[in-house]
Amino acid sequence: MLSGVRTQPFQSGRGPLSPGTRAGIGAALVLLALVSAVDLADGRQAHYVALLAAAPVVAAALTSWRVVLGLGVLATGIGAGFALAERTASLVTAVNVAGVALATAVAAAVAAVRQRQAEQIVELTRLASVAQQAVLRPLGPQVGTLTVAARYISSTATAEIGGDLYEVMDTPYGVRMIIGDVRGKGLDAVRLASIVLGSYRHVAYERPDLRAVVTDLDRAVARNVGDEDFVTAALVEERGGTLTIVNCGHPPPLLLRRGAVIPLEPPAPAPPLGFMPVVRPRVERLEPGDRLLLFTDGLGEARRDGEFFPTADRAWRLLGHGTVADGLASLETALVEWVHGRLDDDIALVLMEYTGPRSDLTAAVPSWEVGAAEG
């Protein structure tokens, strides 16, 4: 899982200072030096002591409360030094020094609250990542006759969690896979994604016909969503070199073969899961070295300045080299560069390569023909 640029909050404890902490300390020290230089140049009357309060306030935005407190003590000490150096004691200067001390206390309190919130965000992000990994199990690198790699690209920097889903399994009916996209975001989307995946992991081993799998998944979705909720999905089966695809309102997979990119459009459109889809399978014969890209609509919607990412035009150059993991890494890099690190939607990617027939398979019969072949 990855999003473009992630913010690293301050981490308490010993160890190297983070870039943000170093920047905060540097900015505060520069302010102290400038104010001190101006006051020294102005003569023996301390006119600018109050400006020293800016140092702990600036530091509070980037550093821990301990650092803020230390810088505030330094600023207060400098202010007190200027006050003592005056020819005659000034009430205004004394009040300004007290104001620096008060600003230090307030800035330290603000920094403590910000640090606590940053630590909570880190913990929530970690929990979100754990939840996502519980839903989306690691794939590959080899499933049956396919080498497999998957990638989840999050559109948010604070939580890697969403409703995109995928799974690949080696079943009695061949290698079966699903990729889907739940309408909506957040925990409700993850809950529905987990329901779909839980149902799929069961019925994929039980139903010889992919159309029956779609029917079971549609019932599972309909029982757990509102009237306007749905799940787009594409289900794929590889059996003895024969590829069978059924599509429920999802972007069609891309077949990469000898430099060509072929969108595997369904024979007829079907609505998403939750709307009782009636699907028609599309069947393709695979060749060793063929690659298949499954993706969610976040890839198709990625754009900059109104121009969409040219997935089909660049797919072979990005995905046709190295391992399947290398291909997905190249695609992600190109995509993030295209959108300048800002995505509008999460993206799930699964890339597979057909390595050739297995010796234990004697016939290339897709699941939707199993019953007829046996009869």
In a domain, 38, yes or no: yes
Q: Are residues 117 and 197 in the same domain?
A: no
CA-to-CA distance for 148 and 361, rounded, in angstroms? 20
Q: Are residues 154 and 114 in the same domain?
A: no
Q: Are residues 201 and 230 in the same domain?
A: yes
In a domain, 375, yes or no: no
- For 226, the domain range is 138-354
- The answer on pLDDT for 9 being more than 60 is no
Q: Are residues 186 and 113 in the same domain?
A: no
Q: Are residues 207 and 251 in the same domain?
A: yes
Asked, as a colleague might, if the bond just before 141 is cis with ω within 30 of 0, I would say yes
Confidence at residue 374, expressed as pLDDT on a 0 to 100 scale = 43
In total, how many domains does the chain have? 2
CA-to-CA distance for 94 and 236, rounded, in angstroms? 77
In a domain, 369, yes or no: no
Higher pLDDT: 55 or 367? It is 55
In a domain, 49, yes or no: yes
Q: What are the residues facing 148 on neighbouring strands?
A: 352
Q: 350: burial class by Cβ within 10 Å (0-12, 13-18, 19+)?
A: buried
Calculate the average pLDDT of the chain: 85
Say which range, 121-130, 156-165, 166-175, 352-361, has the weakest mean pLDDT.
156-165
Q: Are residues 106 and 161 in the same domain?
A: no
Confidence at residue 5, expressed as pLDDT on a 0 to 100 scale = 33
Higher pLDDT: 366 or 101? It is 101
Query: Tell me: the pLDDT tens digits for 20-48?
Result: 888 889 988 998 999 888 878 877 677 78
In a domain, 186, yes or no: yes
Q: Are residues 120 and 156 in the same domain?
A: no
| Mean pLDDT along residues 185-202 | 86
Interstrand relation of 242-248 and 164-171 (parallel, antiparallel or unpaired):
unpaired
Q: Spell 265-278 as b/e; 16+ CB within 10 A means b.
A: ebeeebebbbeebe
Q: Kindly indicate the confidence band of residue 278, based on its pLDDT and cuts at 50, 70 and 90.
A: very high
- The answer on pLDDT for 189 being more than 50 is yes
Confidence at residue 352, expressed as pLDDT on a 0 to 100 scale = 97
Query: Tell me: the pLDDT tens digits for 87-120?
Result: 676 788 888 889 999 999 999 999 999 989 888 8
Q: Are residues 172 and 210 in the same domain?
A: yes
Q: Are residues 116 and 148 in the same domain?
A: no
Q: Kindly indicate the confidence band of residue 294, based on its pLDDT and cuts at 50, 70 and 90.
A: very high
Confidence at residue 338, expressed as pLDDT on a 0 to 100 scale = 92
In a domain, 373, yes or no: no
Say which range, 255-269, 296-310, 321-335, has the weakest mean pLDDT.
296-310
In a domain, 13, yes or no: no
In a domain, 170, yes or no: yes
Q: Are residues 208 and 318 in the same domain?
A: yes
- CATH code of residue 272: 3.60.40.10
Q: Are residues 237 and 330 in the same domain?
A: yes
